Amino acid sequence: MAEPFPELTPETNPKKRRVQSVLFMCNYNAVRSAAAEAIARAYFGKSTYVQSAGVRSGEPTDPFMIAALDEIGIDASRHRPRTIEELEDWEGLNFDLIITLSPEAHHRALDLTHTLAADVEYWPTPDPTLVQEASREQRLDAYRDVRDGLTQRIKARLKA
């Protein structure tokens, strides 16, 4: 009698295919998804197409995020926030993978999969803008934590 759950071997558990295009999504595309886009482009921009978008519009690019990325040699100063609708109108939504960084973005991405053949992964990422009653350095530390966490996950997930 065969076992109901056969042991996974390299033959029965194929590696995830290499991601050729990735979209990072969060609420406003001003902090988390913008940082993820900049980080992914810095490390994988020659081999992977990278974009980001937000569910809603209305927030400018966050100067703390720009400063935190600048500390590690990534220039995000030219980033302009865009919504998922703006991105779709501009170039379409042809992505292998959508990585969501907030619950609202995750729900929106799952809605998109009704018409898109993209994998969706949820990476819960704290919103550093919520650290308000703190010194400038403490606020910047919250952005650094997000930057470092995203850098680690992006490097692990997108490496060929």
> Could you tell me which of 87, 126, 102, 113 has the C-alpha nearest to residue 25?
102
What pLDDT, on a 0 to 100 scale, did the predictor assign at position 6? 45
CB 93 within 8 A of CB 42: no
Which run of H or of E encompasses 50?
Answer: strand 49-54
**SS3 assignment, position 46:** coil
**SS3 assignment, position 73:** coil
pTM: 0.87
Structure tokens at 95: 């992505």
Q: How confident is the model at residue 16 (pLDDT cuts 50, 70, 90)?
A: low
- For the stretch 27-71, pLDDT in tens is 999 999 999 999 999 999 999 999 999 999 978 889 999 999 999
- Tokens 């060929």 sit at which residue? 160
Q: Does residue 74 surpass a pLDDT of 80?
A: yes
Q: What is the largest CA-CA distance in the chain?
A: 65
What pLDDT, on a 0 to 100 scale, did the predictor assign at position 160? 58
